[in-house]
């Protein structure tokens, strides 16, 4: 009977240990699975964070490229307009000495005993030339009697004046100045009263 009782106790212990071993094994397996899943979750979170960061960088690059493209488009459009506006600038600058010569010729013809036909012909040529330049955006700089302005005038001489109102004003123009579409292409060469 003792032998039977020992066997019975051993069997109970074995039966009791086995479920505990099974439970502890199951708990260990579950703990390992939980740990593995936590690692996968952490890796997924890191990947998501990295993706967010990359997405933010790509968005920033996209916005910068878009802004760069807009700036390029605006700059080229502006340059194109300036090129069109000032395309004939060199040609017009080449014509200005011809305009000066026409003015001098008219002055000489009017002071001499030249025929009216010569004067009228020269006036006609001069008028057409000035009209052509005006159509292209060329305008003379009004200087005589105006206050001296370095944005439009170039002083070639200074002359003392008695009238205080004429001080720092243009009293003579030696060469007429011109603007092209509002920009100075040749400064007026002037004599300033001091």
Check: CB of residue 186 under 8 Å from CB of residue 152: no
Number of CB atoms found within 10 A of residue 102's CB: 17
Q: How far apart are CA 172 and CA 189, in angstroms?
A: 9
What local confidence, expressed as pLDDT, does residue 2 receive?
A: 58
Please state which CATH number belongs to domain 138-194. Answer: 2.30.22.10
Q: How far apart are CA 48 and CA 1, in angstroms?
A: 69
If we measure between CA atoms, which residue out of 133, 145, 44, 53 comes closest to residue 93? Answer: 133
Q: How far apart are CA 120 and CA 125, in angstroms?
A: 9
- Is the Cα dihedral 146, 149, 150, 156 positive or negative? positive
Low-confidence ranges of the chain (pLDDT < 70): 1-23, 85-86
CA distances from 169 to 117, 154, 157, 163 (A): 38, 12, 12, 11
What local confidence, expressed as pLDDT, does residue 88 receive?
A: 75
- Per domain, the residue ranges of the chain are 1-85, 87-136, 138-194
End-to-end CA distance of the chain: 144
What local confidence, expressed as pLDDT, does residue 166 receive?
A: 82
Check: CB of residue 162 under 8 Å from CB of residue 69: no
What local confidence, expressed as pLDDT, does residue 137 receive?
A: 86
List, for residues 125-157, the tens digit of each pLDDT value: 999 999 999 998 899 998 888 889 889 999 999
């Amino acid at each position: 009977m003792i032998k039977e009782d020992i066997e019975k106790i051993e069997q109970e212990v074995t039966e009791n240990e086995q479920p505990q071993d099974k439970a502890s094994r199951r708990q260990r397996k579950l703990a390992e699975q939980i740990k593995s899943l936590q690692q996968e979750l952490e890796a997924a979170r890191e990947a998501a964070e990295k993706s967010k960061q990359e997405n933010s960088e790509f968005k920033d690059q996209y916005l910068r490229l878009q802004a760069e493209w807009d700036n390029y488009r605006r700059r080229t459009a502006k340059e194109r307009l300036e090129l069109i506006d000032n395309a004939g600038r060199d040609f017009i600058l080449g014509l200005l000495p011809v305009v000066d010569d026409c003015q001098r010729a008219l002055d000489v013809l009017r002071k001499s005993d030249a025929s009216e036909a010569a004067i009228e012909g020269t006036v006609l040529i001069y008028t057409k030339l000035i009209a052509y330049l005006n159509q292209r955006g060329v305008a003379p700089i009004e200087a005589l009697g105006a206050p001296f302005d370095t944005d439009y005038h170039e002083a070639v001489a200074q002359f003392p004046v008695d009238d205080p109102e004429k001080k720092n004003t243009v009293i003579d123009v030696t060469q007429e100045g011109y603007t092209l579409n509002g920009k100075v292409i040749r400064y007026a060469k002037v004599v300033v009263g001091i």
